[in-house]
Amino acid sequence: MKLIKLDAIDSTNDFLKGMSAKQELENYTVVTAENQTKGKGQMGSVWNSEKSKNLIMSVFVKDLLVGIDGIYQLNIATALAVIQVLKTFDIKNLSIKWPNDIMSDNFKLAGILIENSFKSDGSITTIIGIGLNVNQTNFENLPKASSMSVVTSSNFDKDQLVVLIVEQLKANFELLASNSQILWDNYLKVLFKKGVPMAFAIDNQKPFMGIIKGVSAAGKLILLLENDSIVEFGLKEIQMLY
C-alpha cells in the first residue's frame, strides 16, 4: 500500500484521478488529507469535515472489475469493510443506509463515493472515497451526523484506521471474486431500516409509506408499498425520511 498524505486538497478523489491519468499507479494507492475543501458525496452533495479531526481517504484500485455488471458489488464490499473495522472498536448499532452511508443508530458516521473510469482498452479503474467522522465532536447544524468519538467517548488513531480499512477492502474484494453471495447476505443483514415501515419521498410529491425489502443486483432499493406492490427505486429517484 502506497500512502500519500496531504495537508489540504480540494478532493482526494479528484487528486487520485489526476494522478492516475498521468502515471501508472500501484494498486491500492491511498491518498489522505487533513482538510478537504470540496469533498463530494452521493448525487453531488458536499462532505464537510472539521480539519484534522476526521479520516478523509481515497483508494485507487485496478484489475478488479471486468464489466459494469459488478459495479454495485463494490459498494457492498466497501461499506461492509468500513462496518467490519468499526465493529472492532466497539461502535454500537451499526448499519448501512442504502446505498452506502454508515450509520450508528440513526446517525451518520461515514459516507462513501465510488467512481469508476472506463479505459479505451476495456479496463476499469476505481477510486473509492471514504469520509469517516473520527474525532470530531461538534456537529452544529448537522443533526443527523455523529462520530466514533461521540459514540464511544474516546479518541482514535486515524493512521491505524487507514491501514485497517485497506486491509479489509482487500479481503472483501478477494471474496467478491470467490463468493460474492456472502457479501450480499451480510449487506442485507445490516441494511438500515430493513423490514421497518417508514416514510419516503419522491421530489415534491406527498410522502408515502414503504418497507425496505432489499436491494436489487443493479443497486436499486426494493420497497413494499401500502398497496402490496413491490417497486424498485434508483438513487436519484427517492429520498428516505428518517
pLDDT value at residue 48: 58
Q: Report whether 107 contacts 242 (CB < 8 A).
A: no
Q: Which positions ≥6 away from 108 have C-beta within 8 Å?
A: 97, 101, 102, 133, 144, 145, 146
C-alpha cell at 90: 466497539
C-alpha cell at 173: 474484494
pLDDT digits (tens, 9 = 90+) for 16-61: 999 998 999 999 999 999 998 765 554 444 555 688 999 999 999 9
pLDDT value at residue 17: 94
Which 3 state secondary structure label does DSSP give 155? coil
Please determine, for residue 200, whether its predicted confidence score (pLDDT) is greater than 90. Answer: yes
> Which run of H or E residues covers position 31?
strand 29-36
Domain ranges of the chain: 3-189, 197-241
> Which run of H or E residues covers position 16?
helix 12-22
CATH code at 3-189: 3.30.930.10
Strand partners of residue 177:
none
Please determine, for residue 66, whether its predicted confidence score (pLDDT) is greater than 90. Answer: no
Which of the four pLDDT bands, split at 50, 70 and 90, describes residue 121? confident
C-alpha cell at 181: 453471495
For 197-241, CATH number out of 2.130.10.10, 1.10.10.60, 2.30.30.100, 2.120.10.80 equals: 2.30.30.100
pLDDT value at residue 123: 83
Rounded CA-CA distance 108/217 in Å is 24
From residue 155, alpha-carbon distances to 1, 25, 151, 233 in Å are: 25, 33, 10, 38
Please provide residue 80's backbone torsions phi and psi, each rounded to the nearest 5 degrees: -65, -35
User: Is the pLDDT higher at 36 or at 4?
Assistant: 4
Helices (H) and strands (E) in the chain, counts: 4, 12
User: Is the pLDDT higher at 42 or at 14?
Assistant: 14
| Single-letter code of the amino acid located at 180 | S
